[in-house]
Amino acid sequence: MKSILIIGAGQYGCHIAKVMCTLNCEIMAVDINESSVNEILPYVTNAQIGDGTNEEFLRSLGVRNYDVCIVSIGDNFQSSLESTALLKECGAQRVLARASNDVQEKFLLRNGADEVVYPEKQSAKRIAIKLSSDAILDFIELDDSYAIYEMAMPKDWIGKTLVQLDIRRKYNINIISMKRDGAIIIPGADTVLSADDVLYVIGEMKNLRKCFKI
């Protein structure tokens, strides 16, 4: 069971807690605002009212004992920066911090964050790519070059097998799985593709765009 410390129980922190609660994580949430603590309380193991920029308070939480410390202070970047730096000074194993722009991302990384999430930027890119083609149902970026696309079945692929399409040789991409009648399956070389199938394809983004004419 993962142990998580969330500093900042606002909207973003609360969303994280809700999901992690379903994944059976042990969660401690901290916020200086009592109403925010009360709101997140149903989704966490414990919660405290406290200042995430106070070194003594952070040390009292035993930050070394958490697998991940998440700084989700959204409305005060100075506090987010201070909290991130103090967590590292107090011996936190891994610190993940939230940024609202590129400058914040750089400063957080320089001041102790092991990883920075930039929800607005990441969400905007994901939405832009999805909307760029009716064929793209979803998109997961693996790094700057590679991605997994969830794709609707191209019309000219219907009724053909993977051997006939030979997309691995032609485009250097791979179909890693597909959804058929609501179930995920691993297609074989002789699997005949149908119109309602959904494909999960991995490869370089430039090759994916070329293959699916995006």
For CATH 3.40.50.720, list the domain ranges present in the chain: 3-117
How do residues 142-161 score in pLDDT, each as one tens digit? 887 888 989 999 999 999 99
Q: What percent of the chain has pLDDT over 70?
A: 100
**Is the pLDDT at 131 greater than 80, yes or no?**
no
Look at residue 201 in the predicted model and tell me its pLDDT: 92
Per-residue pLDDT for 7 more than 90?
yes
Q: Is the pLDDT of residue 121 over 80?
A: no
Q: Are 198 and 136 in contact (CB under 8 A)?
A: no
Tracing tokens 């760029």 back to the chain, one arrives at 132
Q: Which residue spans of the chain are classified as CATH 3.30.70.1450?
A: 122-211
Q: 3-117 is classed in which CATH architecture?
A: 3-Layer(aba) Sandwich (3.40)
Report the helix count and the strand count for the chain, using DSSP H and E. 9, 11
What's the whole-model pTM score? 0.69
Beta-bridge partners for 213: none
Segment 43-74, tens digit of pLDDT: 999 999 999 999 999 999 999 999 999 999 87
Q: Which of 11-15, 138-142, 154-158, 204-208 has the lowest mean pLDDT?
A: 138-142
Q: How far apart are CA 16 and CA 27, in angstroms?
A: 10
191: which DSSP letter? P
pLDDT tens string 90-100: 999 999 999 88
- Three-state SS at 90: coil
pLDDT score at 29: 95
Which pLDDT score, from 0 to 100, does residue 44 have? 94
pLDDT at 85 over 80: yes
Q: What is the band of 37 on the pLDDT scale with cuts at 50, 70, 90?
A: very high
> Would the pLDDT of 214 be above 80?
no
User: Higher confidence at residue 125 or residue 1?
Assistant: 1
Residue range 122-211 forms a domain whose CATH class is: alpha beta
Per-residue pLDDT at 64: 94
Mean pLDDT of all residues belonging to the chain: 90
The conformation of residue 156, written as its DSSP 8-state character, comes to G
